[in-house]
Amino acid sequence: MPTEAGKYKSPLAFNEAENIFQIFVKSSRPAPRKWFSDPGHRVILFISLLIVSACSTKPHVLKQTEISVPTSQEVYIVSHGWHTGFVVPASTIRSQIPQLYERFGDTPYLEFGWGDTGYYQAEEISSGLTMRAIFWPTGSVIHAVAVPERPDIHFPDNEVEVLCLDNHQYSLLIGFIEHSFYKDNDGNIIKSKIGNYGDSQFYKGEGDYYLMNTCNTWTAKGLKSAGLKISPAFKITAGSIMGYLSKHNKALTNRNTVAREAPSCQGN
């Protein structure tokens, strides 16, 4: 059963996954030359490179779009401890994907996250499932959630950052999110399981989930699509995303204070 807003079914398991990732990242130092001299290690490395090279890096950073919106918009990035996602005004994305209106109606906001098919949709998370999600390429899903009020109010216990995007930046972000959905030959998105919390739904996603293409890499790709100077490479954890946004917003605030101006976002 779905849980309350912003609460995953197995929060301790997500903490466990975060710990595994942190251990991996901290231990990812240049290997000694002796390691590569071992034939067995070279075989492992070769197989690993073959697997990763065969993976789909979709969805790609979007550089152009035919979507057009008339005004700037506020976009929220929400951290759930492990996953990060975008919360956007629902009107523009609904016009691009009418099935979202059929499913969620007139909700003012929609949250989107991208992740591993098995891990993201699992009722219970095991260490084995966590390791497979991290180290073995798998399919992906999009998690869509109706958000009935301003996101920073709706997710009071979550870390939330807000961005003011101009109309072109916002159009590119919406285009990136749209391209993250897998579509059939008729252009329809494909439902999967009921979502993790609140009024939510999983849909089949584009691209493969693996170590270098995670849920947080997806968020970084969305931010880059929107024109932010972020490198999606190695944006593996939620902390790496939220840390970048915190510094970005602080720098922007400082520049606007010096210039005696602030970005102005109009509602949808």
User: In this predicted model, what pLDDT tens digit does every residue of 233-243 receive, in sequence order?
Assistant: 888 899 999 99
* Confidence at residue 125, expressed as pLDDT on a 0 to 100 scale: 54
The domain of 205 spans: 11-258
Residues whose CB is less than 8 angstroms from the CB of residue 70 and which lie 6 or more positions away in sequence, other chains included: 167
* Confidence at residue 123, expressed as pLDDT on a 0 to 100 scale: 63
* Confidence at residue 121, expressed as pLDDT on a 0 to 100 scale: 77
Q: d(Cα 209, Cα 226) in Å, to the nearest integer? A: 22
Would you say residue 176 lies in a domain?
yes
Would you say residue 4 lies in a domain?
no
Would you say residue 245 lies in a domain?
yes
Would you say residue 219 lies in a domain?
yes
Mean pLDDT of the chain: 78
Tally of domains within the chain: 1
pLDDT higher than threshold 90 for residue 96 = yes
Share of the chain above pLDDT 70, in %: 67
Q: d(Cα 104, Cα 204) in Å, to the nearest integer? A: 17
Share of the chain above pLDDT 90, in %: 54
pLDDT higher than threshold 60 for residue 85 = yes
* Confidence at residue 45, expressed as pLDDT on a 0 to 100 scale: 44
* Confidence at residue 252, expressed as pLDDT on a 0 to 100 scale: 66
Q: d(Cα 54, Cα 255) in Å, to the nearest integer? A: 43
Q: Binning pLDDT at 50, 70 and 90, where does residue 49 land?
A: very low
Q: Binning pLDDT at 50, 70 and 90, where does residue 267 land?
A: very low
* Confidence at residue 227, expressed as pLDDT on a 0 to 100 scale: 94
Would you say residue 1 lies in a domain?
no
Please indicate whether residue 7 or residue 148 has the higher confidence score (pLDDT): 148
User: In this predicted model, what pLDDT tens digit does every residue of 188-221 receive, in sequence order?
Assistant: 999 999 998 999 999 999 999 888 888 999 999 9
Would you say residue 249 lies in a domain?
yes
Q: For residues 24-30, give the mean pLDDT.
A: 41
User: In this predicted model, what pLDDT tens digit does every residue of 112-125 receive, in sequence order?
Assistant: 999 988 767 766 55
Number of H helices, E strands in the chain: 11, 7
pLDDT higher than threshold 70 for residue 139 = yes
Would you say residue 264 lies in a domain?
no
Would you say residue 266 lies in a domain?
no
Q: Which of 47-51, 89-93, 164-168 has the lowest mean pLDDT?
A: 47-51
Residue of 146, 135, 113, 142 whose CA lies nearest to 206: 142
Both ends of the chain: CA-CA distance in Å? 32
